[in-house]
Structure formats: structure tokens, C-alpha cells
A and B are shown apart, each in its own frame.
Chain A
Amino acid sequence: MNYKHTSIAAHRTSLGLAAVTLTMLGAAGCHTDMWVQPKPKPQAESDFFVDGQSNRPPIPHVVDRAHLRTDDAYWKGIRGVNVVDGKPAGAVLVDEIPSQVYDAPEYKSAAGDKKELLAKVLDRGHERFNIFCSPCHGELGDGNGMIAKRGFSVKVPPRNYNTERLRAMPIGHFFDVITNGYGAMTPRAFQVDQNDRWAIAAYIRVLQYSQHAEESDLKSDEISKIDQPAAPAESSKKTGEGERK
């Protein structure tokens, strides 16, 4: 008789276990509770906003009072804007890196030493240039990047920076080109941060120097290195920096 009892109990247990396991499987399979919360997430769809997006654009005509972009040199790369007869006039492109750039947290570790700071900014510019610009303009800024070679040049080729006109341009112009675009080059403000745009602009000047260096600009030990094919960007970059100071 004992037998019967165990058997039923065993059936119960196994049924119970099966039920628990199935419930657990079910729970793992269809989680509707906390797995998908109705909070807006970056780039996600939203059924709340009319345009169906969680990312919200700024409301038209709002003024960000805490971050008023009043410093034209830093935000637009120009200075000395006046209003004459209701039109802006007298703007001059700036030709040095605005001081706000040096205050950025990524350069804090070099605070104080102006030379070291500049080197840091240029290094950052070098890195960012290679990410965002070299596909078209090439690592030397000669307009021969991979995308240019793949057919981009057929309509409007990416500009070679090493021309008389662009060498004479203040770096504020480069900042403006990245921010607002120029002809066939679309604006990049959405892609490249404000401070990085300045770092890149400064680095373009370095590239121009490096591609336009005279033999007299070099130290003698550098001249002896020239015939060796090793790392052209590195050695020429140093020359450029030297000249800036």
C-alpha cells in the first residue's frame, strides 16, 4: 500500500516540477513587465510624440540662456561683427585657437604649459582629422582619400589643402567649413564636437606647413631622415609645430 502513496506523490512532484519549469521557461520567454519600460531611450521609437521619435529636437525659438553663444570667435570663427545699415559687417576670420578650447577637460592634464597644451590640441586634431576627414581629404590633406579614389571626385573632388588660397586662409575659415559645410561638402557640426572642430582646424594648418616645407625649415638631422620612407606624417608634423611657435 505504501507503494501506491509514493507513486502518487512522485507523480505530483514531477508534475509540480514540470509546471514550475514550464512557468520559468515561460517567464524567461515573454517578459513584458520590466524588460520593456515605457521610458524614452536614445534614438528609440516613441508612440507619445507626434513624429514618432524619442529624441527631441529643441523647440523652435528657444534661447539657451545658460549657454548663450555670444562669443563669435569661439562659436563662429569670426570676430568684430558690427551691424551697419541692419546688416552684419566688418567680420574678420580668427587665426588662433580660442582660449575656450584649451579649457576643455580633455586637455586639463597639461594645464599651465602653453607649449604642451598646444601639442595636446594638435594631437587630438590629428586623431580626429584621421577619423572624420581623411576618408575624403587623405591623411596628408591632399584630397586623395579612399572615398575620393572610389569615385567621389567625379563630381566635385575634395579640396587639396595645399593651395595658395587655402594656405592664406585663417583657421577660422576651416572651422567654419567643418561647422557649416562648403559647396559639395555637407556640414559636420552634428558629427564633430565644437572643441574637436577647432583642434582639426589647427591641425590643417600643420598639414599645410608639412606639405609646403622648405629645406631651410628643417634641422640638419631631419634633412638626413628625409630620404627614408619611414612615417612621413610624424616627422613632418614636428616641423609644422616648430614653425607655429
Chain B
Amino acid sequence: MAQIFHPSTNVLANVSLVAVVVLPLGLLVGGSAISRSPWNTHVGLAKDQPAPFSHQHHAVELGIDCRYCHNSVEKSPYSNVPSTATCYTCHSQIWTNSPLLEPVRNSVATGQPLRWNQLHTVPDFVYFNHAVHVNRGLNCNVCHGPIQKEMMTYKGKPFFMAWCLNCHRNPEEYVGKREDVFSVYKKYQMDQPVVEDEAKLSDEEKKKLADTHLTPEQAALMDSGDYKRSNDEVEKGKELLSKYKVKKQQLSDCSVCHR
């Protein structure tokens, strides 16, 4: 009987043996790289918006508090995007001839809302709540990146489930004081040097600087949104958790977010 397989098929067999291992691995690695890339997560990408609204300009240069526009963020699950009536509190009188504000004037005239493209979303089967997080002293930038620096708003974090869980398993790494959430933007605006070595300062000095100078953690938040806490800071976080009565064991139950 003639040979069915030519000896050269041995090579093919060997190659396919290697391929058995390499191909799936490659697909997995490539797949996860793709799923983590901005192409899939949209992190760092701005979207087309009806008006070229700049947070950098309004929140820092003009010093408007986030809550002037996002006025439901600390009392409701949903953080609203401002209505044109909010823009119009100022733009009824200011910059009224700017062509960039034409859409705002149109919207006021016709009553048709502006259609802002939402950047940060979770799927509809996930429950999220702003008020809960903000009232535990989580700064907006922890989740949204350095919003106050952005000329065009972009998405700051991937919003994977693993990302939510990372904090829900170790909330002491992130929770802060309620009153610091919004005051950091005022401090950022003042642009004072960061307090590097707090331990060296007297209590009096600490108190003075606390109102005007960013701590290293806050500075990192204003810069990128990422910061690794030192052991001392984690201990303080733990104290806060018990003060807030956060039930850490239950925070990563599926039913917290999938209800």
C-alpha cells in the first residue's frame, strides 16, 4: 500500500502541535489586549459633542463648582449633564455672539435639548449610584480621570467589572473625607506647591496648608486619577470605613451591582 502521508507532513504535524499551544494563547493574549485597548474601552478618546464645551475652561479658569452643572451628583444615583438652561444662566449675557455657542442658543430658542454624547457608561444590567460613592469621599477623578484638565472631555477609566471590584474589595485604598471631594478643585485652581513632607510640619502649619495646598494624593488625582496609598494612609482609610459603617465583606456580592 502506498504511503498516505509524505514524510514532509511530519513537519506539518509538528507545526500543528506547536500551533495547538501558540494559537489559542495568542488569541487569548491578543484578545485581551484588544479588549483592554482604547479601541474597545474608548479610554482617552473624546467624542463629537454638539458644542465644544471645555471643563478646563469652566471648572478651573472660571472656578465653577462641578455641582453648578452636575447638580444632582451628590443626591441621586444619576449625575445629570446640565440642561441648556444651566448654560444660559451665564451665556444669556456672556459670549452671546460666539459662533461656538450657536447650538446652545438654538436649543434655548426651540426647546430642543442638546444631544451630548455620553462617554462613561456601564451596561444596563449594572446598577451604579453616584451619591453613594461621592458621599464616601470618592473624588470624581478616581473614576473619571483628570476631568478638570480636559479641553474636550474624554473617558478616563475602562469601567470593567474587575475595575469596580478592585475598589470594592479594597475600599480603604480609596475612600476619603466627604468635604474634600469638591474642595480639591478649588485648591488645584490656586496652584500652590504640593505639601511633600507633612510629618515635618507643626499642627498649626498643617491646618493652614490644608485649605490651600494639595496633598501628594490629591495632586496625583488631579494629574492622572491614579495613586498608590502608603500604609499610614490605608490605615486612615480603614478608620473612615468604620466611621462610614461600610460593610466591606458584602461590597463585592454580585447582587450589589447586578440587581
Contact = CB atoms under 8 A, between A and B. Distances in A.
A67 interface: no
Interface residues of A, number: 46
A39 interface: yes
Contact of B23 (A4, A18, A155, A184): A18
A208 B113 CA distance: 38
Nearest to B90: A147
Given A14-B20, A21-B24, A146 B71 contact: no
Interface stretch (A30-38, A89-97, A237-245): A30-38
Contacts of A192: 71
A7 B85 contact: no
Nearest to A132: B68
Nearest to B95: A151
Contact of B125 (A35, A43, A184, A188): A35
A17 B123 contact: no
Contacts of B28: 21
Nearest to A231: B211
Given A14-B19, A135-B63, A146-B62, A25 B68 contact: no
Contact of A156 (B17, B65, B93): B93
Given A18-B27, A21-B31, A146-B62, A37 B93 contact: no
Contacts of B12: 7
B129 interface: no
A25 B16 contact: no
A66 interface: no
**Most-contacted residue by chain B among A17, A42, A136, A191 (CB, 10 A):** A191
A163 to B, nearest CB: 21
Interface string A37-81: 101011101000000010000000000000000000000000000
B80 A43 contact: yes
A133 to B, nearest CB: 10
A155 B93 contact: yes
A192 B83 CA distance: 13
B83 A151 contact: no
B199 interface: no
A150 interface: yes
Interface size class of B (residues with CB under 8 A): 35 or more
Given A21-B28, A34-B125, A130 B65 contact: yes
Interface in B1-43: 5, 12-13, 16-17, 19-20, 23-24, 27-28, 31, 34-35, 40
B16 A11 contact: yes
Contacts of A135: 62-64, 68, 90
Given A14-B24, A152-B90, A31 B19 contact: no
Q: Is the interface of A mostly helix, strand, loop or mixed?
A: helix
A10 interface: yes
A223 interface: no
A13 interface: yes
Given A14-B20, A18-B24, A37 B125 contact: yes
A24 to B, nearest CB: 8
Interface in A131-160: 131-132, 135-136, 146-147, 150-152, 154-156
Interface in A192-230: 192
A186 interface: yes
B88 A186 contact: yes
A22 interface: yes
A134 to B, nearest CB: 9
A238 to B, nearest CB: 17
Given A34-B125, A136-B90, A151-B95, 16 more contacts: A7-B13, A21-B31, A25-B34, A36-B123, A37-B124, A39-B124, A131-B65, A131-B67, A131-B68, A132-B68, A147-B90, A151-B94, A152-B94, A155-B93, A188-B89, A191-B71
**Interchain residue pairs A-B with the least CB separation, the first 4:** A37-B124, A17-B24, A35-B123, A131-B65
Interface of B: 5, 12-13, 16-17, 19-20, 23-24, 27-28, 31, 34-35, 40, 62-65, 67-68, 71, 78, 80-81, 83, 85-86, 88-90, 92-95, 113, 115, 123-125
